[in-house]
Structure 1
Amino acid sequence: MTPPHLRATSPPMSNIPSKEQILQWITDNPGKRSKRDIAKAFGIKGAARIDLKRILRELQEEGHLEKVGRTYRDPDKLPPVTILSVQAPDDNGDLFARPLEWHGEGVEPRVLYTPRTADPAVGQGDRILAKLFAVEGSDAEDHQYTAKLIRKIGTNPRKILGIFRKGAEGGVITPISKGSDKEWQVRAGDTHGAKDGELVEGELAGPKARMGAPRARITTRVGDPGAARAVSLIAIHEHGIPDSFPNKVVAEADAAKPAGLTGREDLRDLPLITIDPADARDHDDACYAHADEDPGNKGGHVIWVAIADVAHYVTPDSALDREARKRGNSTYFPDRVVPMLPDRLSGDLCSLHEGVPRAVIAVRMVIDARGEKIGHTFHRGLMTSVASLSYEEAQAAQEGTLSERTAPLIEGSIRPLFAAYDALKIARAKRQPLELDLPERRIELDDAGNVTSVAFKDRLDAHRLIEEFMVLANVAAAETLIAKRTPLLFRVHEEPSPEKLEALREVAASAGLTLAKGQVLQTRHLNALLKAAGEDTSELISISTLRSMQQAYYNPENFGHFGLALKSYAHFTSPIRRYADLIVHRALIAAHGWGPDAKIDGLSPDEIERLEDTAKLISGTERRSMVAERDTSDRYLAAYLSDRVGAEFGGRISGIARFGVFVKLDETGADGLLPMRALGQEYFHFDAEAQTLMGADTGTMISIGDRVLVKLAEAVPVTGGLILELLEHDGKAPSRGSGRGARKGGGRGRGKPPARRKVSASKARKTKLRKKQDRSRP
């Protein structure tokens, strides 16, 4: 039966089609969308065209069609990553594709497939996972999107990273992976133009050749193995981060279907929005807030936080689950992401794209006027994001600079979010989590993978708003599961060890500050220390406080979160990229008994039994990713600075060791090393507890936080190392000393512990050193 709103509003002439017939015809004939084409198809001539024009206008007003130029199309959008079915080539040889997931009420958009040189061949009937780009201008009359291939569905070729060695007929790829000595043969037509000695990415191209070597097709020329573009790939292999998914995992992801409303609450009327970095690759959280209408909570707010329901798609002990657990988390590099889940999930079904229905687990939280949470409930539902905003867009709108995107959202969505955040700031000030608001570095790359700029990210209120909402939701998850006596993984951050705390006290004392003893340490004590530090010592105290902190980790037992000043804390808000969050989602499903599938996608008995092992595993994978990300950033920065050897930079001392001094450069945040030989013609006594060096002859004291002017002597992109020369320390040129402490031959002294040892031991060391010097003489 035809829905009433799709029937003609007045009795049409016999040859005038109904609205439903028009929409069906446009869907069946995507290349013919103009009024003239429609009139011709239904034999409409003369005055009857007026009735056709009226019906098309009504379809526009009802939102079923949008007029672009002289053609009509559906105004709804496709998600930016989706599965397409490739159609037969048209008369011009172009390949068009149709989306398999379309939620619009009108005409299905037309998608032009635009292959790249290295893409494998696709043809009619193939299914592909593709990245979509909206078409503007006159081209939109023919097609509304272009599609770039991510991969063919049903294929998951094995990948390889290695050095290409050119041969008479093609060549070979020698893998860079540790322990892999097998070469891959490349036929002449599969080299992608690679040159001898280049670092390349390839994929399995067919069965083994006659000599038994596997055959590969080069898909990407990375170039010079020492170039910036190779850095993240090398880090991935160096740290053993899994970067390709097994076939069974990909097959499970590809077989997944969008979750429906069955067993869920309908949250699609809530104006939830996502706020993320402008270049976000996925959207796993959405927010909405409004003033509490309860007269008993005057000035209070209701906050909704909706998180992608990854547990619906990744069930316990499935191939997807085993792979996600092994990876533990996604790893983020400046030029790529190694995801925890395949792109079909992470970039599509589990990403809360604007205008697309998505399954979520949401928490509704009520706070009072002072930002204290007074209640919360969890819900398993289906939502549709009304907008995907960047932090900068949300901040600009709140400050009064509106755009076409944000103007309709300012009163109903954006201002209420910031009003709720203002209340949460009051509660935060009372709780006093550790206020180490350290700048975050951002490395910008061009298309070739070269660093174009290094800058520090602005910290906006929009960033802090989302952080506070996520913290509140994480607390709610932990409290709910504790109350329901359901096992979970807590996010634990213990207080500093007595040894690190004593070292911090010594550093504070050297700066004329006090961190009192004999009390239970709280974050407010550290905040007071940070606040008391003057301009000259703030860097020293901030770095030393950070270094005194323990590493956060996951544990089935609750030891609280020291840094956030919270008794109970769990990770709930990022299940796309963290396995710990997926465990918490499953625990919530089991605790609430949601739907008929609670025993399928809830926390299983086997998972509960191995929670401790899982906690250790994913705490380790998190540290692995952090090291890989840091090493990659160091190498990118070394490559960026390699053409500025000899340039002068200002910086602050960020670390002190027996072998030298680490300096953080102001301009880029890069860390370089001042070797002992660069400090002056004297020995420097190293005090590990106070983190200082003292010149044996001049008494020069070098401490963390001191200002220095340095010259870049060497930049090594392969290792990420920067070697510096000291020009000035606290505004003065380095002292040469008397030379008594220097090695014979003009060498610089090396730091020694302060003179708190026995004289005989000191003499013995000097005698040993003198003999060593004598042996080294020519």
Structure 2
Amino acid sequence: MSLSQDHIRQLLAEADHSLGVKELLRVAGLNPGQQTELKRALRELVRAGVIVKDGKRFRLEGPRVPRAPEASPESRRDASAPPFKKRGPAPGSGREERRGGFRDDRPGFRGGGDFRRSLQRGSRDDRFEDSGQPAVEGILHIHRDGFGFVHPVSGEGENIFLPPGEAQRALDNDRVLVEVAGRPGRFEGRLVRVINRRRELAVGTYVAQGRHSLVTTTDTSLPGPIRVPPTQMARDGDLVKVRLGVGADLLEPGQGLFGEVAGSLGRPGDPSAEVLGSAFAHGFSDEFPPEVMDEADAFAVKVTEAEATEGNRRDLRSMPLITIDGEDARDFDDAVYAEPQAGGWRLVVAIADVSHYVKERSALDAEALNRATSVYLPDRVLPMLPERLSNGICSLRPDEDRLCMVADMTFDRHGQRRTHELYPAVMRSVARCTYNEVQDVLDGKDVPHRNFLKPQFEQLMALARSLMGMRKARGAIDFDVPEHKVMLGEDGLPLRMEKRERKDSHRLIEECMLAANEAVATYFQDEGLPTVYRFHGEPDPQKLAAFAVLAEAYGFQLDVEDGVSSKELDAFITQLAGHPEQRALNQLLLRSMMQAVYTATRVGHYGLAAENYLHFTSPIRRYPDLLVHRVLKAVWARKGKKPSEAQMEREEERLEGMAQQCSERERAAMTVEREVVAFYAALMMKDRVGEEFDATVAGIAEFGFFVELDEVHVEGLVKGESLGPGSKLDKRTHSLVYPNGRRVRVGQKLRVRLLSANTTARKIDFEALQFKDEAPLQRTGGARPAPRRREYVNEAPGRHKGGRPGRNEREATKTGRTTSRKPAGDEAADAEQWRSLAEAEETPFGVKKAWEPPTPEDAATVEAATVSGYGDEVLGEAPAAPRPRGRFSREGRREEAAPARAGSRFLRSRTEEAPAPKAEPATPAKGKRKVIRPSLPAVEEGDEAGASAEAQAPREAFTPPSFDSDDNAPAASPHPGFDRIRALAAQRGQLPTGEAPGRAGASKKVRKAASGASAKAKPSKKSAPGKKAGGSKGASKKQGRGAPGKRKR
């Protein structure tokens, strides 16, 4: 049967459910050989938009035909929701439509075993005991260990704990509703529903596995990999942007997420991908929905004359208004003009009229409220509004007509506001100035294209100084905490971290904006109308009291018993000027302050010492400013008619909800900016590991202290344990105290070394080398308690402390490689370590003797004795120094010793005392102990020079020595255990010079000798070099490997 697209459409139209490829083959009467042709036709129809692909099944474009009965008409999609449909506006939704497509996307499906196990443990309703308290709305923050906390959006009350099984039912930063149980201090919650799902995007690595493709991400807040359909947008291993297919329903733990690849971000290693990932994790996006872009594109690029003359809009195009912004700014939302008047100044602040374009209940307004703020990152800006508005028709660009909202004010010479007037207008900026240009002109420098504005700059600066003096007298707090800016190169990599200098030109604009914000807030207060205020409360009394104790430890007095006014606090901050601990104390004081939030209730601003304050001057980048503009226009539209009390209550409630949303988004934006700066700092320091820097202690914690580098302005952690164990945080003085008396406090200068820079965790670790005016810190580990048993300093990897070689060592012996870190034959280092132990020590025989550094010949004897297998039986106190140790390979045991393994460990020591040997060749004089020194290997005549040179060079292999039982001359032993070795060897007989016994057999026989069962072999005379002694080849083999059946290797 022939195949055509019309025939396929007809078959899909007649079917009561979506069809797969095999079903289409069957119902169309096609043979299996036509499957490839059918798939090709289906792909063409999908690309043309005629049919829709649901996973492996197909259906006609239009409402989705369910494959199973709906469980409930009100049920919504959960985490198994499929990727989005072709991008396009959904009527009345304001968001992208979803499309079906995954095999498990059907009602009633709940995923894998985690859900089934939860049923075995009982339902959530059975396990949760409701406390009867009202449900709480808040923002969910999930910890990397799985549990979470819900922070109430109201800012009141305690955070609510969610166990891992409950926290996994939503995504990080979701706005949720929870039921509360427990008692104060131990509140536990159960998720009721998701009010708003913040996160829509994620960044990860694409793993191409056909229909089982995945996107893996390092974001620990996401529940595992994201399942995605195969895509042609990216290759395997590419960094991609994923659009999550999650609806507004609660998730089932363990089920995982679905999504679709929205675009490729290139190969791994691009720092911009990490920046986007941090922004996506907190609910921000670098794209706008289609319906939002459609509304933005509908606006003209120029202000029409009808718009300029509508209503009561005034014409200020002849006024020389100017904008002053940063070098890289493109959204100019404020312009200023000042002129002197009798006894004071007139100040005109013109703000972009964004509310003229962003209408209430539009798609633009909904998206702006969802973002609530623009996010400014080192490499990009994530704007609140599309660039066509933020950088286009709303931006007050020079020599272009723009609509604006104006605050027209007059001030006396002391900075007190006399009058204020608010009105809409149309303006034309005469210049786009930068802070540096204005500062240069004010400093008297020649700036040719800005010199004509010098009188205007001077008037603005004189007014700003007057306003600063007024606020200072009022009690406004000026922390003057420096900010840091990341400077990037053309390749997008960080070059340096710069401190943002706060210049007079910055203060000039700040004072003008503060004055306008206060004037508008006063207008609403005078009219008695609701709006969105900016609230900053008084400091927490407990935190402020703790800071006062800390300040006293540094010699500063702050009386907090009866509360502290903002004026008193500002006077205290003034005392810190120029003090070494100024920055650190400012930071700690700032932490004791309340965080400013938005609210519909007028409660004043503590930090500014203002009774009325709000945000009016940045509607392009802040939604609360846009709200204030909109409410202001609503007041003008009523023409003096006030709303009823009920209307005002409803309006205040509506504004309060939006204010909470704006506060939460503001905090999220600050978190993103902080994380991105930390990422670039780690990236910048990644290649400087091991370098040393001058630093200042910037903060103290229980686990260590934070330092800021004086050179590059980067912060990192010095772990408390690095200076020794037992550190404790003294909360009273905010210092880290050690048992040895050391105390680390903020403001201390020190020298540090960079240990690591982790870009994934965004953490930088340092180690302290030397505090200022102190001796360098010792790194010998002396602060740690002494071990009970002897430590093997240069223990080779794989070796057991008991003496038997580990697997790695045995393998190394076979292949001839070394696993030790110490270079072979380092006699100078050995002698130095032995010299450090040249104190009188107790020998196994109870006699004190002095230690002497061994000669190379002595070291060779020690090496040979250890190779022979007696090393593990040496009694007495061994020196705490690594000794070279040789071994025989399994293959060459009878021929020669294997190359010496350098630095394996020194001779093992035992604390117990073994019985003395039964036989001694001679009796020492009374009061003295006879020392028997093992003889060195015989050297043939004429080889003395070669032997001496060989002794001073690194040894490749050792020949086991022969012990002479007749050598009774007293000599100083290089090790007390040699006497024991010598005595045991005398009972056992001389060892052959060409071969040494293996560890297993020799050690067993030595133990027999020590317990009284002496070997019956008679001592033999010293054999000639190159010859074997002590029996036949078979006997030698038995001696080297031990008796058969006694011990297996």
Provide TM-score, normalisation by structure 1: 0.67
Q: How far apart are the structure 2 equivalents of 1:501 and 1:168?
A: 60
Distance 1:453 1:685, change over 3 A: closer
2:373 to 309, 313, 329: 329
Distance 1:159 1:726, change over 3 A: closer
Q: How far apart are the structure 1 equivalents of 2:347 and 2:470?
A: 15
Task: Identify the residue that residue 539 of structure 1 maps to in structure 2.
Answer: 583
What letter corresponds to residue 431 of structure 2 in structure 1?
A
Q: How far apart are the structure 2 equivalents of 1:630 and 1:434?
A: 23
Measured after TM superposition, the shift of residue 159 of structure 1 is: 8.2
Measured after TM superposition, the shift of residue 672 of structure 1 is: 0.6
SS of 2:309's equivalent? coil
Task: Identify the residue that residue 596 of structure 2 maps to in structure 1.
Answer: 552
Task: Identify the residue that residue 284 of structure 1 maps to in structure 2.
Answer: 333
1:421 to 452, 461, 464: 464
1:260 to 303, 308, 312: 308
2:362 to 318, 322, 334: 318
Q: How far apart are the structure 1 equivalents of 2:761 and 2:729?
A: 26
Distance 1:627 1:390, change over 3 A: same
Larger RCO (CA within 8 A; separation ≥ 6): 1
Distance 1:235 1:654, change over 3 A: same
Task: Identify the residue that residue 548 of structure 2 maps to in structure 1.
Answer: 505
Measured after TM superposition, the shift of residue 726 of structure 1 is: 0.5
Q: How far apart are the structure 2 equivalents of 1:692 and 1:159?
A: 42
Deviations 1:544-568 (A, max 9, x none): 2122111111111122111112111
Q: How far apart are the structure 1 equivalents of 2:514 and 2:777?
A: 50
Distance 1:164 1:685, change over 3 A: closer
Aligned pairs for 1:494-533 (under 5 A) are 494-533=537-576
Q: How far apart are the structure 1 equivalents of 2:714 and 2:288?
A: 34
SS of 1:593's equivalent? helix
> Does 2:635 correspond to 1:591?
yes
Q: How far apart are the structure 2 equivalents of 1:743 and 1:682?
A: 9
Distance 1:218 1:249, change over 3 A: closer
Q: How far apart are the structure 2 equivalents of 1:271 and 1:595?
A: 31
Measured after TM superposition, the shift of residue 677 of structure 1 is: 1.7
> Does 2:505 correspond to 1:456?
no
Task: Identify the residue that residue 864 of structure 2 maps to in structure 1.
Answer: none
Aligned pairs for 1:365-380 (under 5 A) are 365-380=409-424
The answer to whether the 8 A contact 1:161-1:175 is kept is yes
Distance 1:549 1:448, change over 3 A: same
> Does 2:517 correspond to 1:474?
yes
Measured after TM superposition, the shift of residue 167 of structure 1 is: 8.6
Measured after TM superposition, the shift of residue 395 of structure 1 is: 1.3
Task: Identify the residue that residue 719 of structure 1 maps to in structure 2.
Answer: 761
Measured after TM superposition, the shift of residue 161 of structure 1 is: 4.3
Measured after TM superposition, the shift of residue 439 of structure 1 is: 1.4
Task: Identify the residue that residue 700 of structure 1 maps to in structure 2.
Answer: 742
1:197 to 237, 240, 245: 237
Distance 1:604 1:583, change over 3 A: farther
> Does 2:563 correspond to 1:563?
no
Aligned pairs for 1:654-669 (under 5 A) are 654-669=698-713
Measured after TM superposition, the shift of residue 742 of structure 1 is: 4.0
Task: Identify the residue that residue 734 of structure 2 maps to in structure 1.
Answer: 691
Deviations 1:645-671 (A, max 9, x none): 111122222221111111122223322
Measured after TM superposition, the shift of residue 573 of structure 1 is: 0.6
Q: How far apart are the structure 1 equivalents of 2:260 and 2:671?
A: 33
Q: Tell which structure's C-alpha radius of gyration is larger.
A: 2
Q: How far apart are the structure 2 equivalents of 1:709 and 1:635?
A: 23
Aligned pairs for 1:10-49 (under 5 A) are none
1:437 to 464, 480, 487: 480
1:729 to 764, 771, 785: 771
Distance 1:159 1:720, change over 3 A: closer
1:622 to 666, 682, 698: 666
Distance 1:745 1:622, change over 3 A: farther
Distance 1:168 1:569, change over 3 A: closer
Q: How far apart are the structure 2 equivalents of 1:610 and 1:559?
A: 18
SS of 1:674's equivalent? strand
Q: How far apart are the structure 1 equivalents of 2:202 and 2:555?
A: 56
Deviations 1:442-485 (A, max 9, x none): 10112322002211122111100000100111101100011111
Task: Identify the residue that residue 226 of structure 2 maps to in structure 1.
Answer: 181
The answer to whether the 8 A contact 1:682-1:736 is kept is no
> Does 2:314 correspond to 1:270?
no
The answer to whether the 8 A contact 2:384-2:620 is kept is yes
Distance 1:405 1:448, change over 3 A: same
Q: How far apart are the structure 1 equivalents of 2:285 and 2:639?
A: 34
Measured after TM superposition, the shift of residue 173 of structure 1 is: 6.7
The answer to whether the 8 A contact 2:539-2:594 is kept is yes
SS of 2:226's equivalent? coil
Kindly report the root-mean-square deviation, in angstroms, between the aligned alpha carbons of the 2 structures: 3.1
Task: Identify the residue that residue 767 of structure 1 maps to in structure 2.
Answer: none
The answer to whether the 8 A contact 1:356-1:385 is kept is yes
> Does 2:696 correspond to 1:652?
yes
Distance 1:241 1:733, change over 3 A: farther
Distance 1:161 1:594, change over 3 A: farther
Q: How far apart are the structure 1 equivalents of 2:582 and 2:217?
A: 47
The answer to whether the 8 A contact 1:649-1:709 is kept is yes
What letter corresponds to residue 310 of structure 2 in structure 1?
T
What letter corresponds to residue 323 of structure 2 in structure 1?
T
SS of 1:241's equivalent? coil
Q: How far apart are the structure 2 equivalents of 1:689 and 1:214?
A: 51
Distance 1:727 1:176, change over 3 A: closer
Deviations 1:215-261 (A, max 9, x none): 8685652x324x43322111012222233222222212222244433
Q: How far apart are the structure 2 equivalents of 1:203 and 1:544?
A: 40
Task: Identify the residue that residue 752 of structure 2 maps to in structure 1.
Answer: 710
Distance 1:345 1:615, change over 3 A: same
2:489 to 446, 470, 474: 446
Distance 1:462 1:591, change over 3 A: same
Q: How far apart are the structure 2 equivalents of 1:740 and 1:175?
A: 43
Deviations 1:46-90 (A, max 9, x none): xxxxxxxxxxxxxxxxxxxxxxxxxxxxxxxxxxxxxxxxxxxxx
Deviations 1:186-208 (A, max 9, x none): 43xx65xxx6423245999xxxx
Q: How far apart are the structure 2 equivalents of 1:389 and 1:184?
A: 50
Q: How far apart are the structure 2 equivalents of 1:556 and 1:604?
A: 11
Q: How far apart are the structure 1 equivalents of 2:206 and 2:465?
A: 57
> Does 2:427 correspond to 1:383?
yes
The answer to whether the 8 A contact 1:380-1:594 is kept is no
Distance 1:555 1:270, change over 3 A: same
> Does 2:679 correspond to 1:631?
no
What letter corresponds to residue 286 of structure 1 in structure 2?
A
Distance 1:616 1:745, change over 3 A: farther
Distance 1:745 1:183, change over 3 A: farther
Q: How far apart are the structure 2 equivalents of 1:544 and 1:611?
A: 33
Q: How far apart are the structure 2 equivalents of 1:607 and 1:336?
A: 36
Q: How far apart are the structure 1 equivalents of 2:411 and 2:386?
A: 37
Task: Identify the residue that residue 247 of structure 1 maps to in structure 2.
Answer: 290
SS of 2:700's equivalent? strand
The answer to whether the 8 A contact 1:174-1:183 is kept is no
What letter corresponds to residue 488 of structure 1 in structure 2?
T
2:533 to 472, 475, 490: 490
Task: Identify the residue that residue 403 of structure 1 maps to in structure 2.
Answer: 447
The count of aligned residue pairs is 561
